[in-house]
Structure 1
Amino acid sequence: MTKTACIISLTPVTDEPRVLRQSKALADAGWNVIVAGFRGRQEPPPFWRYIEVEHVYETRRLIENVKLDWKRRLSPYSGQFAEDYYWSQAGYDGIFEHIATIENVRCDLAIAHDYFTAPIAAKLAALSGGVYSVDCHEFSFEQYMHDPKWIKRERPWVHAMEKRYLPGASVVTTVCDGIADALKSTYNLPNRPVVVRSTAFFHNLPFRQTGERIEVLYHGIVSPMRGLEQTIESVKLWNPEYHFVIRGPGPDDYVASLNALAETHGVSGRVRVDPPVPFNEMVPRANTADIGFFVQEDISIQKRFTLPNKFFEYVQARLALCVADLPEMARLVKAYDLGVLVPNVTPQAIASQINGLTRDKINAHKQASMRAAQRLSWQNEAAVMLRAYGIDTSVVENA
């Protein structure tokens, strides 16, 4: 009998790379795949049964809000209070009812993406007689350490939620070794989370010789704490042939602030903010650039061990890489000679590394990406994920 997996991710799931890769691997292994989440820019793939959900916020009386706030405050001392607070906010109970009752979903495996969908997955698994898994994109306990209000108000509750749901999962997966170790020690998990890196689908793209104009590309979510402000400021220190392109989704006001910053520093002619492109076009479009770029500050375990989708997408796009000197990215950059590492997130450090990438060096690192693309692809990583779920990988590996 064909088994069913239900993936729950409260993101625009049709644009979410990890969901798209994960679901494709399960479908290729012969499973029925249901995906519940928000609607994205592109249509869902044909092998999904797609369930569109949304947050529905309920108006409550003041006394009810006071009671709920106390449950949040007491959640570090009671997992039940943490769970009660969860089900009372952001329409999570409505999302569960939509999936389980209106859509009548039953599954052998419910896959939660991060802690805030774990209660839904756990409840759905119990209803179905199946199991649930939690896929941790982040080390959520330290996700917003730059925000004092989050640290005081939300961090203890996040900790309580993960402490309640991670140990009960049939398997916990995450994106890199550093976060796997942090999760195991923080929550005293019986097994170390399985590392399933966010590698991209393999793309058979050509080597592109670096031309007169050298394009440095950041693609991904356009938001604060990603070093974009410091990078724009650094452009005035770059050699004149280098140009900076930012491509991805972001709030209009923040995008406007980046354009204004480029104007302030006199580099608006060398900085361009492009709208996002569909998931299937991201890597081919990136191939028109020369250097894949990403720097962020080391302000927490979460930031220190970052190993994002874009790192592997740059490799598939056959780019040279210029990324922050953080352990997970640095290990791969050095192992495959993919590019250079920025020691700190200052305009001077960024400019020094960019200017040091001559055309010959860029071409050499592009060739290194050519050599590494097959090994650093989802076609290899998918088998790791399937084995973690106890699924026979021979069908996928021989596909």
Structure 2
Amino acid sequence: MRPKILCISFSDIRADARVLRQLEVLAEFGDVTTLSYGVKPDAASDHLEIDASLPSLPQTPVGVALLALRLHRRAELIAPAVQRAFQLNAGRTYDLVVANEARALPLAHRIANGAPVWGDMHEWAPEERAHVRSWKLLVKPFMTDVCARYLPKTQAVTVVNDSIAALYERAFGCATETVRNARPFVDLEPVPVDAATIRLVHSGAAVPGRNLEGMIEAAAGLGPQYSLDFYLVPARDGGKYRRYLEELAAGAAQVTFHDPVKPEELPAVLNRYDVGIFSLPPQTKNHELMLPNKFFDFVQARLAIVFSPSPETSRLIRESDLGAITEDHSPAALIRSIQGMTRDNIARYKDNAHRAARQLSSESDESTERSILRRLLSLNPSTASGSIPER
């Protein structure tokens, strides 16, 4: 009998590239029930859908009061989405529970009822949105308390890079393993650089705080020999922020917005461009230590890369000679870096991305996930014999 695994993510998993990759590996080891916003992902055996209008943090009047009074234990399970999750899981048992991000940890441990829990923290939970005043005052202490109480009793903890791993180990004394936001290897070839227009591209989420305004400003300052295309996944705001960005770019003919594409289709779509760009001022520790999905998307698409400085991305760009690192996080610095790249430079960077694509794919990360799953499922005698893949 295959193990029963619950995967919790307060996102729409079909649009969440990291959790989708995680889900593919989970499905190798058992029958996976997903608990999330949105409809059932393809790799799930069963799905428990949370209404997208229900917040995953205690954003009710009572919840805000509890956060303000630092009554975190009373607040950790009262978020509307968490309450609904309990209702959906009534009478269910699992052999393993996976909690994506710290906000899911209290729920995961309660549902697990003694089964092992794998906490995929993704990034540094206390400062997820610390540039927002209400988060800094109310949610950061709550997230810190959740991590301090639940991570020591979580059987596996993963994060997106080694720099963030060091933060968790110093702050909470927990051992972590790194599972990057790398995607599977994609068999593509670099496309020749266009003779007339250098084609810039950015993919990601249409949410405030990602400095999309700065990239639009830079594109407007580059002139007609450059174009910038956006592929943006909409936020849970009904498209309000994306409409704002389109209005902001209305006077820049070289900026184009496209509908988002499925995560598995993204490298092939990006492949026809020349340079993937991203510039993010370090408003939070996560911004400072970023190693986002889009970096690996650009590599698999065989693009040259221009990123603002960050320890993790800058190291990889230098190691494989993938592109340019801006002097700072300003639109002017982004313009200078892009203009400093000749077509020959860009072609070389694209070829280097092609050579590095296998190394910077998710193969090693999936191996780490499989090792975690074999270890955790072996803790349960009912799943330890004959049902755990060896590869």
TM-score (norm 1): 0.87
**Deviating more after overlay: 295-304 vs 309-318:** 295-304
Name the counterpart of 1:135. Answer: 120
Structure 1 pair 20–48 and aligned structure 2 pair: CA distance change class (3 A): farther
1:55 positional shift: 6.0
Name the counterpart of 1:122. Answer: 109
Structure 1 pair 256–54 and aligned structure 2 pair: CA distance change class (3 A): closer
Distance in structure 1 (CA, Å) of the matches to 2:284 and 2:43: 39
- Taking the TM superposition and a 5 Å limit, the aligned residue runs for 1:64-83 are 65=61, 68-75=63-70, 81-83=71-73
Distance in structure 2 (CA, Å) of the matches to 1:221 and 1:54: 20
**Deviating more after overlay: 174-183 vs 153-162:** 153-162
Distance in structure 2 (CA, Å) of the matches to 1:179 and 1:52: 30
Structure 1 pair 46–390 and aligned structure 2 pair: CA distance change class (3 A): closer
Name the counterpart of 1:52. Answer: 49
Q: 2:75 aligns with which of 68, 85, 94?
A: 85
Name the counterpart of 1:243. Answer: 227
Secondary structure of the 2:233 match is coil
Name the counterpart of 1:295. Answer: 279
List alignment gaps of at least 5 residues for structure 2.
379-387
Q: 1:199 aligns with which of 178, 182, 190?
A: 182
Question: Would the aligned equivalents of 2:38 and 2:52 in 1 still touch at CA under 8 Å?
Answer: no
- Taking the TM superposition and a 5 Å limit, the aligned residue runs for 1:144-223 are 144-189=129-174, 191=175, 193-212=176-195, 213-223=197-207
Question: Would the aligned equivalents of 1:36 and 1:99 in 2 still touch at CA under 8 Å?
Answer: no
Name the counterpart of 1:94. Answer: 84
Question: Would the aligned equivalents of 2:200 and 2:226 in 1 still touch at CA under 8 Å?
Answer: yes
Name the counterpart of 2:382. Answer: none
Question: Would the aligned equivalents of 1:55 and 1:90 in 2 still touch at CA under 8 Å?
Answer: no
Question: Would the aligned equivalents of 1:232 and 1:262 in 2 still touch at CA under 8 Å?
Answer: yes
Name the counterpart of 1:277. Answer: 261
How many residues align? The count is 372
Question: Would the aligned equivalents of 2:271 and 2:301 in 1 still touch at CA under 8 Å?
Answer: yes
Root-mean-square deviation over aligned CA pairs: 2.2
Q: What amino acid maps onto 1:116 in structure 2? A: R
Distance in structure 2 (CA, Å) of the matches to 1:345 and 1:57: 35
**Deviating more after overlay: 300-309 vs 254-263:** 254-263
1:181 positional shift: 0.7
Identical counterparts, % of pairs:
27
Q: Kindly provide the CA deviation profile for residues 364-393 of structure 1, in whole angstroms up to 9, marking residues without a partner as x.
A: 11111111111111222100122233459x
Q: What amino acid maps onto 1:89 in structure 2? A: A
Secondary structure of the 2:97 match is strand
Distance in structure 1 (CA, Å) of the matches to 2:296 and 2:61: 44
Structure 1 pair 186–352 and aligned structure 2 pair: CA distance change class (3 A): same
1:114 positional shift: 0.5
- Taking the TM superposition and a 5 Å limit, the aligned residue runs for 1:13-28 are 13-28=13-28
1:188 positional shift: 2.7
Q: What amino acid maps onto 2:269 in structure 1? A: R
1:313 positional shift: 0.8
Secondary structure of the 2:206 match is coil
Question: Would the aligned equivalents of 1:25 and 1:396 in 2 still touch at CA under 8 Å?
Answer: no
Q: 1:353 aligns with which of 337, 346, 349?
A: 337
1:296 positional shift: 0.3
1:65 positional shift: 4.5
Structure 1 pair 211–70 and aligned structure 2 pair: CA distance change class (3 A): closer
Q: Are 1:321 and 2:316 counterparts?
A: no
Question: Would the aligned equivalents of 2:27 and 2:43 in 1 still touch at CA under 8 Å?
Answer: no
Q: Kindly provide the CA deviation profile for residues 116-165 of structure 1, in whole angstroms up to 9, marking residues without a partner as x.
A: 11112111211xx4111111112121122222222112221121122121
List alignment gaps of at least 5 residues for structure 1.
59-63, 76-80
Q: What amino acid maps onto 1:148 in structure 2? A: R
Distance in structure 1 (CA, Å) of the matches to 2:85 and 2:342: 52
Distance in structure 2 (CA, Å) of the matches to 1:138 and 1:368: 28
Secondary structure of the 1:249 match is strand
Distance in structure 1 (CA, Å) of the matches to 2:213 and 2:353: 27
Distance in structure 2 (CA, Å) of the matches to 1:85 and 1:253: 30
TM-score (norm 2): 0.89
Name the counterpart of 2:369. Answer: 385
Q: What amino acid maps onto 2:105 in structure 1? A: A
Distance in structure 2 (CA, Å) of the matches to 1:65 and 1:44: 33
Question: Would the aligned equivalents of 2:204 and 2:231 in 1 still touch at CA under 8 Å?
Answer: yes
